[in-house]
Amino acid sequence: MDTISPENPQLAAPSDPAAGTDVSAPQPASPKKKDSIGLWLRDLIVSAVVSVLIITFLYQPVRVEGTSMLPRLEDHDRLFINKFVYHFEAIHRGDVVVFHYPLDPSKSYIKRVIALPGDRIRIVDGQVWLNGRHLREPYVPARYRDDDSMAQLTVPPDCYFVMGDHRSISSDSRAFGPVERDLIYGKAVFIYWPAKDAGVVH
């Protein structure tokens, strides 16, 4: 670890005892020192501006309200969502996304993407079948599963079938249907508070 120690100017003993004690006036900061301070201030300002731009245009802090995404996301967890990522890449199965609630766009929901446009999905006694194959879901603990069923449907173009990880209490696409692409505005990426939950959202 680099350390910086403050300079300690020393008083030189006079060479001629008869001359008495000679205390020299403080010297002004050298141009080199002024340049260093200027560079430090510049870097500090640039860092602050970049941080504000990143948070404003790329990441947004949000608070989770509810328990439908247990065990990974708990009620009142704080996390960052990436608001820009889906301008450059596709939405994938397994992504935890934030979207405007289809029945009331003034509200926002957070759920996991289970099926993509064109996928055939059905649910049998709580087990998800996707395109004729059983979907393995390690993010849903046994105690959070339910035994509900849903007839097969094909996800419409530009829509996504989303579900909460706490299946027994989640209101999701089983209730309000697939979510249109235009309603999805962010991807959950990192929990920052509380510290015990901090980490990447998978």
Please give the positions annotated as active site.
Answer: 68, 111
Extended beta strands in the chain, E state: 59-63, 78-82, 96-100, 108-115, 120-124, 127-130, 133-134, 150-154, 159-163, 179-180, 184-193, 199-200
Q: Which of 101, 99, 121, 118 is nearest to 159 (CA)?
A: 118
Report yes or no: 57 and 70 within 8 Å, Cβ to Cβ: no
Residue 144: both structure tokens together:
């959070």
Taking the CA of residue 32 as centre, how many other CA atoms within 13 Å lie in the half-sphere pointing to its CB?
Answer: 0
In one letter, which amino acid is 138? Answer: P
Pairing relationship of beta strands 59-63 and 179-180 according to DSSP bridges: unpaired
Q: Distance between CA 86 and CA 166 in Å, rounded?
A: 25
